[in-house]
Amino acid sequence: MIDLPLKVKATGHNCVPASVTMVCAYWRKSKPTLKWKLPEDINSSEWTEFFKSGFKYVKASGMPTNSIKRYLKSLNIPLNARLEHMSNSHQLLNLLNVDVPIIVFYNQDFYLKGEKGIGHAAVVVDKTEETFVTVDAAFYPKCVHQIPKKVFEEAWEMEQKSAIIISPKSIKFSRVKIPSRTIPMYSHDGVT
């Protein structure tokens, strides 16, 4: 399980800057050799300031993912951020296997109440046989939260399996695009 050293509390649309802060604190601890301007001590006021400075990017409709890049750049954080719509949950596993925490957007109202609602950001840090383990700022102070795999996949699918990958610039990604329709030659009867 990936251990996020910093846990923060957030409500409403602030779940995104909260998740970004927690992931950055993780990289600060695990990659100390990068050019960091933030202190190693995650309890220092700079980290609180870092979290709070993210609020200015939060709009009435949420925090655009393009703003995350600006947010990191404005504070000289040596990390890259990218929005991806994963093809399946195995992709999360691939990243967890190399100790990359992933911010996922899933429909939390669906998970908690069974009805479609607002997309919510949380950090996936592990997977067990039956659950995905997340660190969720909305559940502070009990941030570590296990979500049954089946429900998570449904709630994640509602948000188009969106994920934000924040990682050091040294990690490169090769993307393979999977079409939503089966290519005719591979389909059972040759017809889509």
Partner 1 sequence: MKLRIEVQELDTPRKVVFNKIMQSYGAGCFPQKTEDIGEFYRVPIGVHFPSSVIDQKTNTERIFTFHFNNVGEFLVKKRSLKIESRPSQSFILNSIREKRKDVRDTVEKDLIKIIGNPKLGVRFDVLKYAHLGVQPIYRTITKLLETRGKYPPRSEVESIGYTDLVRLIIDIGYVEYNEEQRLTPTNKLKDLFAQSNGDALRTAESIIGLVLAEHYDYLYQTRRIIHFVPYVRASTAYYTEALQFGGLIHLTETRLLESVQKYYKVAARPSRKARFGHATLIRELLDANILCSEDNFITGRADILDGLMHIREDMPMSEPPYSSTAE
The one among 114, 175, 189, 191 contacting partner 1 by CB under 8 A: 175
Min dist CB 149 to partner 1, Å, is 18
Question: Considering the rule CB under 8 A, would residue 177 count as an interface residue with partner 1?
Answer: yes
The tokens 């429900």 sit on which residue?
151
**Alpha-carbon gap, residue 91 to 86, rounded angstroms:** 7
Contact region for partner 1 (CB under 8 A) — 30-38, 42-50, 56-64, 148-156?
56-64
Which is nearer to partner 1, 29 or 82 (by Cβ)?
82
Q: Does 33 bind partner 1 (CB under 8 A)?
A: no
- CA distance linking residue 75 with residue 53, whole number of Å: 9
Residue 159: DSSP 8-state = T
Q: Which of 38, 124, 156, 159 binds partner 1 (CB under 8 A)?
A: 159
- Closer residue to partner 1 in complex, CB, 37/116: 116
Q: Measured from the CB atom, is 5 or 64 closer to partner 1?
A: 64
C-alpha angle 118-122-126 in degrees, rounded to nearest 5: 140
Helix (H, G, I), strand (E, B) or coil at 131: strand
Residue 137 near residue 190 (C-beta atoms within 8 A): no
**Residue 123 carries which side chain, given as an amino acid letter?**
V
d(CA 7, CA 66): 23
Binding to partner 1, residues 65-124 (CB under 8 A): 65-66, 83-88, 90-91, 94-95, 98, 100, 105, 108-109, 112-113, 115, 117-121
96 and 106 Cβ atoms separated by less than 8 Å: no
Where do contacts with partner 1 occur on this chain (CB under 8 A)?
11-13, 16, 58-66, 83-88, 90-91, 94-95, 98, 100, 105, 108-109, 112-113, 115, 117-121, 138-139, 159-162, 170-181
